[in-house]
Each structure stands twice: as structure tokens, then as C-alpha cells.
Structure 1
């Protein structure tokens, strides 16, 4: 298994429907630790029917209006803050079972949903964060894709420390089982994980986006949740373009 890491969506090679399969990855792992992929993992773990992601807000609103109001939630964030008129912002501690169970979340965030949009045509797309890091790695080991692209989300097109930390965390499990790093970005992410694996929350708080969240309010609960390692067995998996559902290891092997 060859692992390549891309810091942001813009770094990912073109993987649209007209690109030959030989030029694409066999699987893509999208990461946005603070906070989209952490929120997605917890929402699905807590019983959301699906999370449907959008890079465009007008498209989100149009699709959400086609669902009964009682079975949908609009999740929107820009600049770390909840969008006006949306039910929820981008917080993993807000997607409790009482709030999300049985509902479809229509979600758009500053960074993470852009990366999901970029890789939507790859045959296998999953999302990872620190809480479901091992579950994602075990799924990849089970399915054995030859080429895996791990895609960070960054902050408005620039590098983010926390996404690279999680990329290294996922890769560390895979490389213990024989996977190899295919680019320097992957190697540097592994070094970052080795440095911070004993205290990932400190790394999240040190990161510029962590500092941004600290500056706009008390996000201590979010930091603790986003830094919780290997707490979830859920693997958010794209089942149709832009739609993620919970798939565990037992589901994948059935």
C-alpha cells in the first residue's frame, strides 16, 4: 500500500470522472481535525442517517429543502462560526444522539467539505479524524487498496498542523503493517505524529486554527473531543457523491 499525503485540496491531482483509473488513487481519506471530519464521525456514531456535504451554500439549501423539515439538519460554518439560519455549527460535541438520530445532516464548512468535493470521484472515499483513526486504518488494511491519498483540508487553502498530525497518525498504523510513504509530505506528517502522539490536544491548541478557535470563544470541549484518540469504530464512507454513511468493519466485510 502506497500512501501519499496532500496538505490541501488544491494539491490533489485531478481525479474527475474523465481521468483514467490508472491516474487516480484507489482510496481517498479526507481529514479535517478542527472540526469537520471529527463532527462527521461523531454525528454518524450518534445515529445520523447520513451526512451530505457541500462546498456551495446555495446547493446545500436547495437539497435540504427537498427533505422533510423534521428529518433534516443544516450544518454550516464559516470562519469557525455557525452560519445564520443553520441549525448547527461545526462542533462535534453538538451532534448528540438526541439532536441527530435518524436525521440527514446537510453540511458545509470552511475547509473540510472542499476536500471531500475534490475527491468525490475516487472509488472509495472515507473521512478520518483522531477519534476514528484506527478504525479507518483497519478498514484500509482490510480492503488493501494499492494507492491511498490522504487529503488534508488546511485553512482557506493553506497548510494546517492538525491535519498533518492526523495524517501521520493514520499512516503510522498502516506502516506498521507494511505500507510505504510515497511522498515527502507523508514522511513529514509521520515525524509530526511521532513528536505529538503523547499529547495531541497540545498540538491542536498550538496550531493556528486552534489559536483562531481559542480567540473566538471557549472551545475546550471541542478540543478534548477532537483530540480523543481511537474512541470510535465508525468509518464515514461515501455511498454516493457527497453522501457519507456510517460503515463499520463488520458492515464492510458482510
Structure 2
């Protein structure tokens, strides 16, 4: 029996999709989920997502390394913000990173009641697809969006992942959001980087000189690690050697 696949374009809609036996993939391509995948790729032990700034400050007071931003800007108490380029091996290897962002970490908390929560980005696209195929569970792709508003870059990635899952033959869908995401993905070919230049988040990042990450965040299959929520923190599950199709 095939598993069901759905796409939720905003956390504001998530209650319409939530089912406790489904796996939720949280997507925040620019930049939170790309940064989380980078952290594990570069040797972080755990990433602890917190949605509340007071909680992040409490972790900081206890001596933890904190990455925190709002509207793209690093907060004054944080060690660094959410650019993937901040999560270097020198900074994160063997460390727990407390992480709070405008959209991504809130979406993770929103999804916490699911059967499992995984983190999706282009960096782990094929590994994530392979991992989901092995779980034999229904899947909801949750776009972190921008303050609950639709975001083009997250929907586009949802289309990329949906295509892989449906092409596996293990998933089925009657979800209009999946078909919309697939159509976006098809429209973006063959130049995804050029297509994403129209995204509002690209313009927001450029306004603050933070758009240097666009190409990196849209480069697929840089890692075989799938971050998965366990309790209050993300751990990295290594899929191993897979064939990138």
C-alpha cells in the first residue's frame, strides 16, 4: 500500500494537515534548514531549536553556543546568525548549537507532535528522499514560509522532493499543493538559480547584504545526513552511501 504525500505551504495551515502518524519534513531553504544541514555536515553534535528568544538567552547564560536571528539579522546576544557559512567546522564540531530563527525553528516546534520530524534542504535532498522511502509512513512537507506567508523557495523545494518521492512509486497524492509544487519545480527547470532570483526572500537577504548564500543553499546533495528531532533536539542520522538519481 502506497504512503500518502501532502504539502503544506504555511505553518498557519498546518492544523489542516497534521496527523500524529505522519512524518513532517520542515523546509526553510533560505536559510534555517540549509544551515542546520550544514551544521551536521560540519560535525555538530546536536542542534537545539528554540522558538522563543528568552529561552535562547537562558541557554546562552548556561554557556551554550547560540545562533539566533530575526528578519535575517543576528541578535546582539547570539554567537552568530543563521547563514550556513557561519556553521564552520571550527565553530560547531562536537558542539550543541542552540538555534532560533524567524520562521524555521517555529515550524519545527509546530510539527513536534508528528510521528517524526525531519529537516529538508537541497543539501540533503537525495538522502532525505531515500530516508523517507524507508520509513513507510505518510509524509507532510511543511514549508516554514515567511511569517506564515507563502514563500517561493520553500514551495520549489517541496516540488523537488515531491518528484523524488512520487517517482519512487512508494507514494501517492491527491493533494493540490503537491501538484502546485511540482508545477513550480517543472517551471524552474533548467536554471533553478535564475528562477529563484524572483523570490521575495532573496530580495530581503540582498537588502542586508546576506544573499551570498543563495547558490550554496540551492546546490543539491552535499551531505547524506538527515537531521531528525529527538525530544528537544535534532540529531543527525547518516543515510550512508546512496545513488543520487
Q: Secondary structure at the match of 1:93?
A: helix
CA contact (8 A) 2:59 2:66 kept: no
Q: After superposition, give the CA deviation of every residue in 1:18-43 in whole Å (9 maximum; x if it has no partner).
A: xxxxx434201000000000000000
Pick the aligned partner of 2:229 from 238, 241, 249: 238
Residue 197 to residue 99, structure 1, CA distance change in 2 (3 Å): farther
Q: How many residue pairs end up in the alignment?
A: 238
Q: Which residue of 1 aligns with 2:8?
A: 6
Q: Which residue of 2 aligns with 1:167?
A: 158
Residue 200 to residue 73, structure 1, CA distance change in 2 (3 Å): farther
Q: After superposition, give the CA deviation of every residue in 1:121-153 in whole Å (9 maximum; x if it has no partner).
A: 1121101011111111100111111x2111001
CA contact (8 A) 1:15 1:24 kept: no
Q: Which residue of 2 aligns with 1:118?
A: 110
Listed as ranges, the gaps of 5+ residues in structure 2 are none
> In structure 2, how many angstroms separate the alpha carbons of the residues matched to 1:34 and 1:201?
13
Q: After superposition, give the CA deviation of every residue in 1:135-179 in whole Å (9 maximum; x if it has no partner).
A: 11100111111x211100111110000000111111111110121
Pick the aligned partner of 1:182 from 170, 174, 185: 174
> In structure 1, how many angstroms separate the alpha carbons of the residues matched to 2:164 and 2:116?
19
Pick the aligned partner of 1:75 from 67, 82, 92: 67
Q: Secondary structure at the match of 2:179?
A: helix
> In structure 2, how many angstroms separate the alpha carbons of the residues matched to 1:205 and 1:144?
36
Q: CA deviation at 1:219?
A: 2.3
Q: Secondary structure at the match of 1:163?
A: helix
Length-normalised TM-score, structure 2: 0.92
> In structure 2, how many angstroms separate the alpha carbons of the residues matched to 1:193 and 1:15?
22
Listed as ranges, the gaps of 5+ residues in structure 1 are 17-22
Q: Which residue of 2 aligns with 1:33?
A: 29
Q: Secondary structure at the match of 1:209?
A: helix
Runs of 4+ in 1 over 4 A off after TM superposition: none
Length-normalised TM-score, structure 1: 0.89
CA contact (8 A) 1:51 1:104 kept: yes
